[in-house]
Structure 1
Amino acid sequence: MKKAKILAARKAIDCIESGKTFAVDGFCGIGVPEELYIALQERFLQTGKPNHMTMIFAACQGDMSERGFNHLAEEGLVSTAIGGHWNNAPKLQKLAMENKMTAYNLPLGVISQTFRETAAGKPFLLSKVGLKTFVDPRVEGGRLNKRTTEDIVDLVELYGEEYLVYKTRPIHYALLRGTYADQYGNISLDHEACKLELTAVAQACKNSGGTVIVQVEKIVDTNIPAKNVIIPGIYVDIIVPVCQKENHQQTFATLYNPSYSGEVHISLPAEAHTHMPLNARKIICRRAAMELQKGSIVNLGIGMPEGIAAVAQDEGEREKITLTIESGPIGGLPLSGLDFGAAANPQAIIGQASQFDFYQGRGLDQAFLGLAECDERGNVNVSKFGPKIAGCGGFIDITQNAKMVAFCGTFTSSGLTVSTGDGKLRILKEGRIRKICKAVQQITFSAKYAIQTGQKVLYITERAVFGLSSHGLVLQEVAPGIDLKHDVLDKMEASVEISPSLKEMDTRLFRQEKMGLSIQ
């Protein structure tokens, strides 16, 4: 049996040839082979090689500053990038926005699943995910700049229904990470917070005739138990034992917490029990929590919706629902910031592609995602704002397929200040940016598709709640203390329908004491 070579990071990276395609696996700050990225950047800066590479990734890896993909943002190193999420690597974003690389943004779940199709030798993935959004070739085809012209997504009709065709391509190198490697090159994920799609990426690379390079924490003397092997040694060509612990953190925020990897069950972090201050965010999260249903399987997006779990915890109701994360954890407490993608005390951690199989098959009962920009038709944009590429991440996979979806965000942004008292809301200072507009900059959520599938959709803000009809947004609730014309209608760059049964939002949302939430 041929055994994997054991090399230092730079020696491993020296094996990479220019003009090839490489795939990487990780999620924000989780599972990042940081030492390999540092070595790749170092080699390029010293020699100009490898260059003109094509990079494929599902989730962006980075700390919003220097780490992760930011190491790869050297002009000429990567000439084409196909990714699901871009937000954590601003330096890579900059290259795309300045037309210095060909760049695509596709749904994170789709890319995750495409690795499996590549491994199986299939030419494409057939999916409804992305229909009528910016990924649809009739809209933008997932292209992010003028330099990007090739169509990598096609539209077909089968048995009277529309599908998108996501093309696969050979993978010549895979840069991956695990916890331990044994004498056979088998890789385990003992200390990792997520499984992601490591097996599929390794298989895809191996079956493309490529080279699989895996960074590990340690090479162990004993054989890894067969059930613990995530990347079999037969797929692995090079093993790189990490030199510096800071290049192999569990997440970019946490060196190591065994509750994130499901090794132990510990008391939940103190912040899980901290009462949120009564501000616009808490009002929104309280109103969203009123939509929770007992026994529901739920996904909470990053940012604003994370507070829904805190509200449910404060009200003693969190155990009535099961929270899930697109990266694979099920149950426990989803974490935020540079820990995002991990959960404390998860009940289970499954592969990312498998999690998206469940999501795309309409297994999610409820999803609560951010509301960055919305138009009068009900379309939502969270992926592109002027020169900034956040990317859609798993947003399209999740929002398009959850049985019920609620978008949560402030009515205006950049400077909004509110106060509460006597169960009423007052706007002390209005935000400079009006988030409800005539037309969004990019369609990340398609209202037209939601209407077509009969999905229940809500748009929850601190002062108003909207529903979705065939005509577009419908104003259903207004906060007590708010002037309908001055504080709502005049603060939108859009025309919306007003429900004949328009009512006030529950006054409990605006009081300091617990609201008495009861999830039924």
Structure 2
Amino acid sequence: MSKHITPAQAAALIPDGAVVSVSSSSGLGCPDLTLKAIGERFEATGHPRDLTTLHPIAAGDMSGIKGVDHIAKKGLLKTIIGGSYPSGPSSAEPPLIWQMIGNEEVAAYNVPSGIMFDMHREAAAKRPGVMTKVGLDTFVDPERQGCAMNARAAAEPLVKKVSFEGEDWLFFPAIKPEVAIIRATTSDERGNLTYEHEGAYLGGLDQALAARNNGGIVIAQVKRITKDGSLRPHDVRVPGMLVDYIVVDPEQKQTTQTLYDPAISGEIMRPLDSFRVPEFNLQKVIARRVAQELEAGSAVNLGFGISANVPRILLEEGLHGEVTWVIEQGAVGGVPLLDFAFGCASNADAFMPSPYQFTYFQGAGFDASLLSFLEIDRNGSVNVSKLSFRPHVTAGAGGFIDITARARKIVFSGMFNAGAKLDIEAGKLVVEKEGKLKKLVNEVEHVTFSGRRGVEQGQDITYVTERCVMKLMPQGIVLTEIAPGVELQTHILDQSEFPLIVSDKLKQMDAALFAEAPIRLKLPRKPVRKLEGIHG
């Protein structure tokens, strides 16, 4: 019996009130045609209704792949739990899902991506749930927002704080999906799935296991169906015994604005000189200074924003390959891509399934993480997940909290304040006009990284901006470097809502950062790894 069905037939399989898990990371791996069919069925029949949908990373990107916006309809969605959500420019109309969240038409939660995958794994094994320290003292903690994105969600708590052997833990109950909608490149007639054109495996296997082990169904969207027995067993990532139905979309995009690029899926290797080197500007100055924090031989996580340019800095400096980049979608090594293709890498060494990449992050197996900030407060806490005046521009935390929970070293980067008019002249930073919005604030609106936890755990925390470098220390945030041309009092101390501690060894940032020529970067070698003790 053929497992191949139409998108409309797939939509008709979903009952009212179902819990539906969707595999996607923005446009990467998004089963967009299937989601579209669900939305069209609801418009035509009023069913399915009152769904709870799970999106471990995100679904859709508002740049040609609507994803969750296909099903963002009042009455269709009752609850949505996502690692992150589609975002867009502040000038654009908010995505439909953000309008629903703001209008209290759906209970919406932002749960760290790694924890969401853990919840699937626990459901598959029929264990009660996830007990973790990831998220303590952040917006995930029930003593803050408890992952709730609106009042409707706050009325139905998702996470509890519990005590175990004298320590505080967060407990997330396992959620049992009745339907899993995943995506691959090829299915054979029995539903065996291969991912040869995909930019990542994501978590489709874990989501399929969670649905199947709890009596649910698995729908796989693919580009093509091939003959039974024609796929190499080693290439099959999700076995056909877990797949009930197959939807074919021969036009599915590989990722946002990308129909198909074989370098993203590791089928070819791009020449290094084909990668664009960042133009000289203040963002490049910051990325260069971040690069100076690295050690050769390290495994380093990258987040979206200015830090995503750091691999290109190493390329320009002739140091490509000295650092292994790891991103939450699963790529290991290579050159992580920018802008609409962020989450993919060209020339990767390997692809890890996202749930295992998050296990690596949560346990701090990597050496450093390079991330962005929107706000920093007096405790060293960072907000990247919420700005009330621009809610649909901040997409949520994604894997940020999983990554930072125990990371040994974190370098946060961003502009010192928002809207300032700045220039570089003769190797010096010129502040022509200050911005109206300060980013160093007494208290961040949303705690995505807890500075208090960072100090307690002895994490090495650095903040890099165009005008200074700061370190988080037990006594507070310490100013350690200042840009050439910047006035300490006027341009830095007066622009912070809280007192900064000026190091008695304050020095000037490397002048080479502020010139167009390469900075002749040299990376110290990471110490040889030795057996470490086991710590909590």
TM range, smaller chain? over 0.9
One-letter code aligned to 1:308: V
Q: CA RMSD in A?
A: 1.5
Residue pair 1:129, 1:397 contacting (<8 A) in 2 also? yes
Q: Which residue of 2 aligns with 1:266?
A: 270
Alignment correspondent of 1:80: 79
> Counterparts in 2 of 1:44-123, with a 5 A limit?
44-64=42-62, 67-88=66-87, 90-123=95-128
2:191 is the alignment partner of 1:185: yes
Cα contact 1:28–1:338 (8 A) shared by 2: no
**How does the TM-score come out when normalised to structure 2?**
0.93
Instruction: Kindly indicate whether the alpha-carbon contact (under 8 Å) linking 2:63 and 2:256 is maintained by their aligned counterparts in 1.
Output: no
> 2: distance between equivalents of 1:266 and 1:451?
42
1:376 to 375, 378, 403: 378
Query: Is 1:405 paired with 2:410?
Result: yes
What do the CA deviations read for 1:406-465 (whole angstroms, capped 9, x no partner)? 110000123x33222333211123222211111100100000111111000001100011
Q: In the alignment, which residue of structure 2 is the partner of 1:281? A: 283
Kept after mapping to 1: 8 A contact 2:63/2:257: no
Give 3-state SS (helix, strand or coil) of 1:28's partner: coil
Partner Cα distance (2:478, 2:240) in 1: 56
Counterparts of residues 499-514 of structure 1 (less than 5 Å): 499-514=503-518
Give how far 1:470 is off. 1.9
Distance in 2 of aligned mates of 1:60 and 1:20: 19
Q: Does 1:152 align with 2:158?
A: yes
Q: Is the 8 A contact 1:286 1:311 kept in 2?
A: yes
Q: Percent identity?
A: 37
Aligned pairs for 1:310-459 (under 5 A) are 310-386=312-388, 388=391, 389-414=394-419, 416-459=420-463
Q: Kindly indicate whether the alpha-carbon contact (under 8 Å) linking 2:61 and 2:86 is maintained by their aligned counterparts in 1.
A: no
C-alpha contact 2:120 2:175 (8 A) present in aligned 1: no
TM-superposed deviation, 1:501: 1.6
Structure 1 partner of 2:7: 9
- 1:203 corresponds to which residue? 209
Q: Is the 8 A contact 2:183 2:220 kept in 1?
A: yes
Alpha-carbon separation, structure 2, partners of 1:167 and 1:31: 26
Q: After superposing the two structures, state which structure 1 stretch, 320-329 or 385-394, moved more.
A: 385-394
Give me the whole-angstrom Cα distance separating, in 2, the residues matched to 1:472 and 1:493. 14
CA contact (8 A) 2:22 2:59 kept: no
C-alpha deviation, 1:477, in angstroms: 1.2
> How far apart, CA to CA, are the structure 2 residues paired with 1:61 and 1:336?
18
Alignment of 1:128-167 (within 5 A): 128-148=133-153, 149-167=155-173
- CA-to-partner distance for each residue in 1:155-196, whole Å, 9 max, x for gaps? 222233322111112111111111111122211111111111
3-state SS in 1 of match to 2:271 = coil
Decide whether aligned partners of structure 1 residues 288 and 328 sit closer, same or farther in structure 2, where only a CA change above 3 A counts: same
Distance 1:92 1:282 in 2: 34
TM-score normalised per structure 1? 0.95
Residue 378 of structure 1: CA displacement? Answer: 0.7
Structure 2 counterpart of 1:347, which letter?
A: D
Q: 2:467 aligns to what?
A: 463
Describe the superposition over 1:288-324 as per-residue Cα deviations: whole angstroms up to 9, x where unpaired: 0110101010111112111111111111112211111
Partner-residue secondary structure (3-state), 1:318 = coil
Equivalents in 1 of 2:103, 2:424: separation in Å?
Answer: 44
User: How far, CA to CA, are the matches of 2:2 and 2:77 in structure 1?
Assistant: 27
| Contact preservation (8 Å) 2:3, 2:189 | no
Task: Tell me, yes or no, if the aligned pair for 2:255 and 2:341 is still in contact at 8 Å.
Answer: yes
Equivalent of residue 29 in structure 1, options 14, 27, 30: 27
For 1:257, which of 254, 258, 261 is the aligned residue?
A: 261
User: For 1:350 and 1:4, how far apart are their aligned partners in 2?
Assistant: 31
Residue 91 of structure 2: aligned partner: none
User: Which consecutive unaligned segments of at least 5 residues does structure 1 have?
Assistant: none
Deviation at 1:269, TM superposition (A): 7.0
1:18 aligns with 2:16: yes
Local SS of the residue matching 1:495? coil
Give the Cα separation in 2 of the matches to 1:213 and 1:410: 44
Taking the aligned partners of 1:29 and 1:337, their CA distance within structure 2 comes to 12
Q: 1:427 & 1:280 partners in 2: Cα distance? A: 12
Relative distance call for 1:126 and 1:161 in structure 2 (3 A) is same
**C-alpha contact 1:304 1:408 (8 A) present in aligned 2:** yes
Contact 2:54 2:80 in 1 (8 A): yes
1:227: which partner in 2?
Answer: 234
Task: Deviation per CA, 1:389-418: give whole Å up to 9, x if none.
Answer: 52111111112222100110000123x332
Quote how far apart the aligned CAs of 1:44 are: 0.9
Q: In the alignment, what sits opposite 1:194?
A: 200
The alpha-carbon distance between structure 1 residues 212 and 269, as it changes in their structure 2 partners (threshold 3 A), is farther
2: CA distance, partners of 1:215 / 1:282 = 40
* Cα distance, 1:69–1:268 mapped onto 2, change above 3 Å: farther
Contact 1:474 1:498 in 2 (8 A): yes
Deviations, residues 116-156 of structure 1 (Å, cap 9, x unaligned):
11111111012111011110111111111111112221122
Alignment check: 8 A CA contact 1:28 1:88 kept: no
Post-superposition Cα deviations, 1:474-519, rounded to whole Å, max 9, x if no partner, equal: 1111111111111111112222222222221111111222111111
Structure 2 residue runs of 5 or longer lacking an equivalent are 89-94, 525-536
Which residue of structure 1 aligns with residue 485 of structure 2? 481
Q: Which amino acid aligns with 1:369?
A: L
Whether the aligned pair in 1 keeps the contact of 2:190 and 2:228 (CA below 8 Å) is: no
Alignment CA distance shift 1:357-1:4 (3 Å): farther
Q: Distance in 1 between matches of 2:79 and 2:193?
A: 29
Structure 1 distance, partners of 2:228, 2:63, is: 39
Do 1:273 and 1:314's aligned partners in 2 also have CA atoms closer than 8 Å? no
SS at match of 2:156: coil
